[in-house]
Structure 1
Amino acid sequence: MNPERRYAPLSALQHFVYCERQCALIHLEQVWINNRLTAEGNLLHEKVHETSGENRPGIRLVRGLSVVSETLGVIGQCDLVEFLSSRKRHPNAAERWDAVRPVEYKRGRPKSHAADLVQLCAQAICLEEMLGIPITEGALFYGEPRRRTEVPFTLELRDTTIQAAQALHALLERGVTPAALYRASLCRGCSLLQICLPRRRETPAQVGNWFRDTLNQLLMER
């Protein structure tokens, strides 16, 4: 690591792709509020990190592995990293791996946005730099379907991740929180909704409609 370099948290990259304003509120203004969704996510991650490592035939599982990337300028932890080896090919080489695969745990279901994909790809780039080996795929484990979504690390996803990291650092260096922009699919589940107030510039009728929609959504979740 370069002691003179400013590294951004891996989580900030996910926040940035999800919503630039949310990212700025958390990482510039140090604002954070838990809601039911974030609390469920925290419990899921705590369960994943209950043990640090585990050996199985042909696989080494490492939880909470600290990673860093000079290319992206990010630092953080991987929920789970799987080190895969073939006993037939390397019977006496415990530290030689055929493949390495990061696995990120998320509550809920697969998302329509790319925030989770970018976060996972950033973990892969960190591991590639640290281990000196190519990593071709990882996985996202979502809590509701309770199954993995395999994620290939394509050139397109890698480019998206690098560009997002560059834009994230530009945001952090500017130190200016972007203006609020209401997007129903993102804002309704955001724990910072009542601080961000993305609809405060809209007309009373629009705000009234939003209030009714939000209330109905909360009642449906009970």
Structure 2
Amino acid sequence: MEGEEGDEERLVPLSAIESYAYCPRQCALVHVEQSYADNLYTLRGIHVHERVHAGDEGESSGYPALRSLTVFSDRLGLIGQADLVELRPDGPYPVEYKAGRIHRTPAELQLCGQALCLEEMYAVPVPLGAIYRAAAHTRREVSLDASLRALCETTILAVRGLLRSGRMPPPTTEERRCRGCSVREACLPDIVRDAPRLRGMQSALFRPREPGAEEGP
């Protein structure tokens, strides 16, 4: 993608990979509509990441490490921040930090995106990484294999298409994912899923007020 016009407009944030894999509508609300809002879960995540970047959170692996490292890939048009990258003898080893419950595939895709950036930046293979769960003080190693890499690159293309189009996808069919979502109030998944109710509300919203009718509060 290097050298093409409008490259900056097509850069995909690393965080958008995880968001899209979790729910494309959430990704659009945050990265297209700028409707991000904090709740208890996001504030916990912010606190953990601040501690990681300051060196106050996580386990000591014995390797030197870079914290809050900006990573990028010109080939993929990808940019973001890696929480922690251990500098091991055989190459960089990214560690993604999560505050509480981990949604496996979205988190692994975000980690894989970091690895793809690091491979391009350091010109060495990055076959492994880890996801650290702060609530349990445990880390799980992730094999960044060919299937995960292919899914990651497919997701990056999907995110870029979403950012270009500006279209709003429907809510996820996995309703349990809506619980605890920080953009639930902007998303209104229960209303949007109920087509008759949505049409009724849209009709009422744009119905002209009859002459002499009292205005609402």
TM bin (shorter chain): 0.7 to 0.9
**Ranges in structure 2 where 5+ consecutive residues have no aligned partner:** 197-217
Deviation string 1:5-27 (CA, Å, 9 cap, x unpaired) is 12111111111111100000011
In the alignment, the residues of structure 1 paired with residue 96 and residue 29 of structure 2 have an alpha-carbon distance, to the nearest angstrom, of: 24
Identify the residue that residue 64 of structure 2 maps to in structure 1. Answer: 60
Letter in 2 for 1:44: V
Identify the residue that residue 99 of structure 2 maps to in structure 1. Answer: 107
Does 2:170 correspond to 1:179? yes
In the alignment, the residues of structure 1 paired with residue 195 and residue 162 of structure 2 have an alpha-carbon distance, to the nearest angstrom, of: 30
Q: In structure 2, do the counterparts of structure 1 residues 179 and 129 end up closer, same or farther at CA, with 3 Å as the change threshold?
A: same
Higher relative contact order (CA 8 A, sep 6+): 2
Does 2:18 correspond to 1:27? no
Q: Which has the larger radius of gyration?
A: 2
Does 2:46 correspond to 1:42? yes
Letter in 2 for 1:139: A
Deviation at 1:107, TM superposition (A): 1.3
Deviation at 1:189, TM superposition (A): 1.9
Identify the residue that residue 194 of structure 1 maps to in structure 2. Answer: 185
TM-score under structure 2 normalisation?
A: 0.80
SS at match of 1:199: helix
Does 2:128 correspond to 1:124? no
Q: In structure 2, do the counterparts of structure 1 residues 57 and 104 end up closer, same or farther at CA, with 3 Å as the change threshold?
A: closer
Deviation at 1:80, TM superposition (A): 0.1
In the alignment, the residues of structure 2 paired with residue 37 and residue 150 of structure 1 have an alpha-carbon distance, to the nearest angstrom, of: 24
Does the 8 Å contact 2:24/2:172 carry over to 1? no
Give the aligned CA root-mean-square deviation in angstroms.
2.2
Among 113, 118, 124, which residue is 1:133 paired with? 124
**Ranges in structure 1 where 5+ consecutive residues have no aligned partner:** 86-97, 205-222
Deviation string 1:143-191 (CA, Å, 9 cap, x unpaired) is 2221001101010100000100011111111111112245232110201
Does the 8 Å contact 1:101/1:137 carry over to 2? yes
Does 2:13 correspond to 1:9? yes
Does the 8 Å contact 1:182/1:199 carry over to 2? no
SS at match of 2:161: helix
Does the 8 Å contact 1:181/1:199 carry over to 2? no
Q: How many residues align?
A: 188
Q: In structure 2, do the counterparts of structure 1 residues 41 and 129 end up closer, same or farther at CA, with 3 Å as the change threshold?
A: same
